[in-house]
Amino acid sequence: MLDAYSQSVSPASVRQQILGMQQLCPHGLSEQWLLGACGDIHWQLLARSLGQEGLRFKAADGRPLYAAFCATRLELTLSASLLGEEVTIHSNIAAASGPKVGSRHVFRHQGGVIGSLLMLSTFVAHDETGSNRRIVRALPSKSCTLPAADPDLMSLDRRARNTSRGLCGQSMQLANGARIEPSYSLDFNAVGLLYFPSFSRIAESVAQCPKPLMMREVVYLGNLDAGEALYVQRSGAETLIAAGDGRILAQVNEKRSI
């Protein structure tokens, strides 16, 4: 599955990276680095598709827009002894359902695929309150035409929509969850939103599992303001992350090596 699509599609972006401590963890590629690096590539491809050079997106009325991620799916293979090696990231971007945009990033080392990342985003803006609790969808002032997303991206899109519908109106029982206070300087991004890789880091901190990660799929359902606590509840391979009022902010599913 990791290799089938990348063989037949010319990437819209190719990036070479020498792997150092920042890019690696004990089991191979670092999940936190991959999410942040590919998130930047996703934004760059999106800006390029809209015909703009900078990464500051705006709505027709001039409000700042952000390409917020709706879902991500990371798949990794065990990759030892990568320190000092070169990895190539092949990336492309496509249209998913409605206003959502998807990207696929394939990671290659010495000609072989060692992982892939699917990402889905939609444009959002703060409303007049400026609260992260009240992020609203919006459209950019410019439009573009993208090729249709491949079946894997569309499957992620469907799962994300089903998850969103299934959890709509549900609340977490906070007594069953671990309380975590995100760090404003480490877990929030430049516009004050809880940064999407922080959800994976928080889920991993509760998992406390030494086995290597093979797959992590996250559906992002909401955000929270700085100073609020998170509550994390794990059941088997699934983790729910909620705000202090029980509002579910993300569902995380994972698979570990045997």
CATH number for the domain harbouring residue 76: 3.10.129.10
**How many domains would you assign to the chain?**
1
CB contact at 8 A, 59 and 141 = yes
Helix (H) or strand (E) holding 104: strand 101-109
* Inside any domain, residue 54: yes
The pLDDT of residue 78 is: 82
> Which DSSP category does 195 fall into?
P
CA–CA dist 92, 41 (Å, integer): 9
**Residues 6 or more apart whose Cβ sits within 8 Å of residue 99:** 122, 123, 137, 139
* Inside any domain, residue 119: yes
The pLDDT of residue 55 is: 83
* Inside any domain, residue 5: no
* Inside any domain, residue 159: yes
The whole model's pTM is what? Answer: 0.92
To 10 degrees, what angle do helices 31-49 and 196-207 make?
160
* Inside any domain, residue 199: yes
The pLDDT of residue 3 is: 38
The pLDDT of residue 10 is: 33
CB contact at 8 A, 22 and 33 = yes
Task: Report CA-CA distances (Å) from 9 to 3, 4, 12, 92, 250.
Answer: 11, 10, 9, 8, 31
**Domain residue limits at 97:** 13-256
Which two three-digit tokens encode residue 123? 């444009």
* Inside any domain, residue 2: no
* Inside any domain, residue 207: yes
Give the count of beta carbons closer than 10 Å to the beta carbon of residue 190: 7
Helix (H) or strand (E) holding 34: helix 31-49
The pLDDT of residue 168 is: 86
* Inside any domain, residue 6: no
In order along its 258 residues, the chain shows pLDDT tens digits of 343 333 333 348 999 999 999 999 988 999 999 999 999 999 999 988 888 878 888 888 888 898 899 999 999 998 778 999 999 999 999 999 988 999 999 999 998 999 999 999 999 988 888 899 888 888 888 788 899 999 999 999 999 999 999 998 889 988 888 999 999 999 999 999 999 999 999 999 888 777 899 999 999 999 999 999 999 999 999 999 999 999 999 999 999 987
CB contact at 8 A, 74 and 107 = no
